[in-house]
Structure 1
Amino acid sequence: MKDTVSVMIPCFNHGHFLAETIESVLAQTKAVDEIIVIDDGSTDRTSQVASSYLDAIQYVYKANGGVSTALNAGIRRATGDWVCWLSADDLFMPNKIERQLEYVRVHPNVGLVYTDFYIVGEDANEIISRARSSTFSDRKTWEEQLLKTGCLFNGSTTMIRRTLFYKVGLFHPELLHSQDYNMWIRLAGACDFGFVPEPLVKYRWHKGNEEHREKPNEYRERARQLR
């Protein structure tokens, strides 16, 4: 049975990174079934960059509402069995989709599978470090550790069974930060998590993504409250 994959790329004023991000999906060793770019009211060149890929992507423009609303727009449009989230400034390694599909076919009980990742500079060829994600053996431990600590893995590394979003609900629109953390807490109670211990994403560290780290404890606590 063929597993279909949708990749959603929420983008707000990251037009200067967007082409490289889209290209990283197009370069997959296992082609995805659809790429959905959600422009969250960008005022830069995002629409122009996206327009040059209209033969390969679906482009959705919406008024600015934050990452959660952009992700929800992508989920509602997606048709794949599995949904991947790729931030518009991050990159997939070429075998990311292939390795995750191999994993879920061997572990059919898993509803979410994530990976390690590289932290890179503004130039994605500059690898700063390899980030190793946490892993636990059962849902109860996952829920306990998530509530005790924090996010534990990067959203751009995830592949999630699409139907689960309609079981636990979509991303909370009121969460402008830590919306991924809130989602992982809810999903931990609904499905098993799987882990591929390979760095299959490049997470780009640059000045534009530092703002949301100003009050991490406050953001995490709000995410816990809304579960």
Structure 2
Amino acid sequence: MIKVSVVIPTFNRAKLLAETILSALDQTLADREIIVVDDGSTDDTSEVVKTFQERVIYIRQPNSGPANARNTGVRMAKGKYVAFLDSDDLWLPEKLELQYQLIEQNLNWGLIFTDVMWFSDGQVMLPTLREKYQLHTGEVFEKLLFDNWIATSSVLVRKEYLEEVRGFDEDPQIMYVEDWNLWIRLAHRYQFAMVDKVLVKRRYHQNRLGLVNPEKQFKAILYNLEKLRRSFPELKDKAELFSQKYYQVSFQRGYEDLNVFEPKKARSKFALALKHKKDLKVLFFYLLTFLPPELLRVGKRMVNLFKGR
């Protein structure tokens, strides 16, 4: 059996795909296969993949979304483990080998992730995950309900465990958070471990940002939480835990709406946050949304000045 199957879903990223594939081919772990799932690209993706000939397995399908494309790759995978690599990200050469060595030590470890850094034009742009988040390992089921600190391109997971939980949920209402949904379902059964090294480079570019619709992402997060709550009986008595998450997400999204002068959108988010937690800070921002545009700009400057002290 092959040790690792690398699944690369892609859609119209012909200009970036070759570098991504090369980073998978350059892995020090030699016993692996690379599967590129072309999710209905209309650019030169197929021509790019052809240049790698037999070194890459190429699957083309009608456009069905990233969750479906990854599941297609998993179904085709012959490896004991599956690693996902987004078609605009890069791996450092030791990534798979270090993860494979770790996951072989313990059957209870269903998923191994790594630290990640962002880059643009070869330059590091943002903090690593270790610098940005509190990273957890072991029993992480409830912790994952609060935050998703796991980058899809950093993951190595046992194929049999993926099949047990039926892979990525293809429900279109959780698009943008289908990876988070899968990690939570895996964490319900298995422990997670980490190779505490930066082994993945995530590319920061405008096309990637443009794919994310903040409003749809917000709705997807709320929908995902409710779906998970219905799926796991033991979460039915975790009302306080879910309430905290609703508060956190609603306030954060409301603040982002207010920051780009979308007061009506922000107001609905702050109202939802207040429903879950009576907080003077949220009430203050909620009241700001009723100000006319000129005063709202003044209020925003005052808030930024206060935060800078």
Global fold match (TM > 0.5):
yes
Aligned residue identity for 1:212: V
Secondary structure of the corresponding residue to residue 217 of structure 1: helix
Q: What is the DSSP-based 3-state SS (H/G/I as helix, E as strand, rest coil) of the residue aligned with 2:54?
A: coil
Give yes or no for contact 1:181–1:220 (8 Å, CA) kept in 2.
no
CA separation of 1:134/1:57 partners in 2, compared to 1, >3 Å: closer, same or farther? farther
Give 1:3 deviation, angstroms. 6.8
CA distance in 2, matches of 1:3, 1:109: 21
More strand by share: 1
Tell me the SS of whatever aligns to 1:55.
Answer: helix
Cα deviation, residue 83, structure 1 = 0.1
- 2:86 aligned partner: 87
1:150 aligns with 2:117: no
**Worse-matched range after superposition: 181-190 or 209-218:** 209-218
Q: Number of residue pairs matched?
A: 221
Gapped runs of 5+ residues in structure 1?
none
What is the CA deviation profile of residues 80-123 of structure 1, one whole-angstrom value per residue up to 9, with x for unaligned ones? 010000000000111101111121133342110001011011x2
Instruction: Name the counterpart of 1:171.
Output: 168
Give me the CA root mean square deviation.
1.6
Q: Distance in 1 between matches of 2:43 and 2:2?
A: 35
Corresponding residue SS for 1:128: strand
Partner SS for 1:81: strand
Mean CA deviation greater in 215-224 or 169-178: 215-224
1:211-226 matches, within 5 Å, as 211-212=211-212, 214-215=214-215, 216-226=217-227
Tell me which moved more, 44-53 or 25-34.
Answer: 25-34
Change (3 A) 1:119 1:32: farther
User: Which has the higher relative contact order, 1 or 2, with Cα contacts under 8 A spaced 6 or more apart?
Assistant: 1
Identity, % of aligned pairs?
Answer: 34
SS at match of 1:102: helix
TM-score, reference length from structure 1: 0.91
Identify the residue that residue 45 of structure 1 maps to in structure 2: 44
TM-score, structure 2 as length reference: 0.68
Question: Distance between the aligned counterparts of 1:29 and 1:168, measured in 2?
Answer: 30
Aligned residue for 2:271?
A: none
2:298 corresponds to:
none
Mean CA deviation greater in 94-103 or 35-44 = 94-103
1:40·1:62 contact (CA, 8 Å) conserved in 2?
yes
CA contact (8 A) 2:116 2:198 kept: yes
User: How far apart are the structure 2 equivalents of 1:74 and 1:16?
Assistant: 21
Larger Rg: 2
| Pair 17,76 (structure 1): closer, same or farther in 2 beyond 3 Å | same
- Ranges in structure 2 where 5+ consecutive residues have no aligned partner: 229-309
